């Protein structure tokens, strides 16, 4: 029992389970708006399972492929995929089980969700390759999480309306923008290892400017989402608060690079929760 508990803790560390907070709110934001309120207990459970299995697949696949890179980065050298706590074969089984789990969950949601399940896995898995040949990897990560609202609305209505696309594009730029800030920590390692990233190619100052542009686009597309979805007061407040929180995030990083973790985890985690709560209030 003790060994099993330790293994579960190691896998929890491997995929950073707590970071699910970034994708879960926007799946349910789309579901709430699509249903104009509560979408049912069954879809709630299926939505959670889909989000968790998709994210576990993506993170597990990333850690499996990146174990050689992580072993050369002082920031990641103590991860379970590097220090031997989790073997490559265990990671491969974990990835396969979560991929199968995601497809099975999608099957029970509806036909469109099932047909989209494998393409979604291909997209979210491709992020792990991009840093090896393109600095656009940050945007691919954004696209991966940006699929969350699309998945949410498909689960409820089996369609993809314009407002969901606008919400998803906003999520894409939001994630890409904060990933740029987070990747500033690895700028020197990326250069040494020949990895492609915006910080290693354009430098820290330009990266921060690009991140600000991405987050301005985030606010713009979320505003368009609110307008097109015919949402009302609480949704507009959600956009305003998001803009303020993103501004605070950039303030933290500009003031002190050591606060990147606080900007990345705390600010963005609360942003998703606040946005979700206000959208729920808007649809009561």
Residue the block writes with tokens 């686009």: 217
Angle formed by the axes of helices 233-255 and 162-183, to 10°?
10
Are 173 and 221 within 8 A, CB to CB?
yes
Q: Report the pLDDT value the prediction gives residue 263, as an integer from 0 to 100.
A: 63
Per-range mean pLDDT, top range of 70-79, 185-194, 206-215 = 206-215
CB 83 within 8 A of CB 77: yes
Percent of residues, the chain, with pLDDT higher than 90: 58
**What confidence score (pLDDT) does residue 189 get?**
84
247-257 per-position pLDDT tens digit: 998 888 887 66
pLDDT band per the 50, 70, 90 thresholds, residue 4: low
Q: 269 by DSSP, 3-state: which?
A: helix
Within 13 A of 224's CA, how many CA atoms are on the CB side? 17
Dihedral (CA of 257, 258, 259, 263) sign: positive
Question: Of the given ranges (29-43, 81-95, 215-229), which has the lowest mean pLDDT?
Answer: 81-95
Q: d(Cα 156, Cα 113) in Å, to the nearest integer?
A: 10
Distance between CA 143 and CA 243 in Å, rounded? Answer: 20
C-alpha 208: how far from chain center: 20
Which pLDDT score is estimated for 154? 96
Among 24-38, 65-79, 120-134, 270-284, the range scoring the smallest mean pLDDT is: 65-79
So what's the pLDDT on residue 121? 95
Distances (CA, A) of 231 to 37, 66, 227: 12, 42, 6
Average pLDDT, the chain: 89
| Whether pLDDT at 1 is above 90 | no
Contact 83, 70 (CB under 8 A): no
Which residues does 66 contact at the CB level (< 8 Å), separation at least 6?
81, 128
* CATH class as words, domain 9-282: mainly alpha
- Taking the C-alpha atoms of residue 234 and residue 38, their distance in angstroms, rounded to an integer, is 17
pTM of the predicted structure, to 2 decimals: 0.92
Residue ranges per structural domain of the chain: 9-282
- Band of pLDDT at residue 20, cut at 50, 70 and 90: low
Q: How confident is the model at residue 78 (pLDDT cuts 50, 70, 90)?
A: confident
Residue 134: per-residue pLDDT: 85
Q: Is the pLDDT of residue 63 over 80?
A: yes
Give dist(CA 16, CA 80) in Å, integer.
11
Choice among 3-12, 122-131, 141-150, 157-166 with the minimum mean pLDDT? 3-12
Helix ranges (DSSP H) in 131-197:
137-157, 162-183, 187-193
d(CA 274, CA 271): 5
Residue 65's pLDDT band (cuts 50, 70, 90): confident
Of 144, 171, 184, 176, residue with least CA distance to 242:
171
């Amino acid at each position: 029992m003790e060994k099993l508990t330790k293994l579960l803790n190691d896998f929890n560390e491997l995929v950073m389970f707590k970071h699910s907070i970034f994708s879960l709110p926007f799946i349910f934001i789309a579901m709430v708006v699509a249903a104009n309120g509560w979408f049912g207990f069954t879809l709630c459970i299926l939505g959670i399972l889909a989000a968790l299995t998709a994210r576990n697949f993506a993170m597990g696949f990333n850690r499996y492929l990146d174990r050689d890179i992580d072993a050369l980065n002082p920031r990641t050298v103590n991860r379970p995929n590097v220090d031997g706590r989790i073997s490559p074969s265990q990671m491969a089984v974990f990835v396969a089980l979560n991929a199968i789990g995601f497809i099975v969950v999608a099957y029970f949601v509806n036909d469109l969700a099932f047909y989209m399940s494998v393409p979604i896995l291909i997209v979210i898995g491709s992020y792990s390759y991009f840093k090896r040949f393109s600095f656009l990897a940050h945007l691919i990560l954004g696209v991966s999480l940006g699929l969350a609202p699309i998945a949410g609305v498909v689960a409820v209505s089996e369609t993809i309306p314009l407002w969901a696309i606008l919400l998803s594009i906003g999520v894409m730029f939001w994630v890409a923008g904060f990933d740029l800030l987070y990747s500033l920590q690895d700028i020197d390692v990326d250069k040494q290892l020949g990895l492609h990233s915006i910080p290693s190619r354009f430098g820290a100052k330009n990266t921060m400017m690009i991140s600000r542009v991405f987050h301005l686009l985030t606010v713009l597309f979320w505003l368009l989402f609110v307008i097109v979805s015919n949402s009302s007061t609480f949704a507009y407040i959600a956009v305003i608060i998001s803009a303020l929180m993103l501004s605070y995030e950039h303030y933290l990083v500009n003031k002190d690079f050591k606060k990147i973790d606080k900007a990345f985890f705390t600010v963005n985690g609360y942003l998703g929760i606040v946005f979700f709560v206000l959208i729920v209030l808007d649809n009561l």
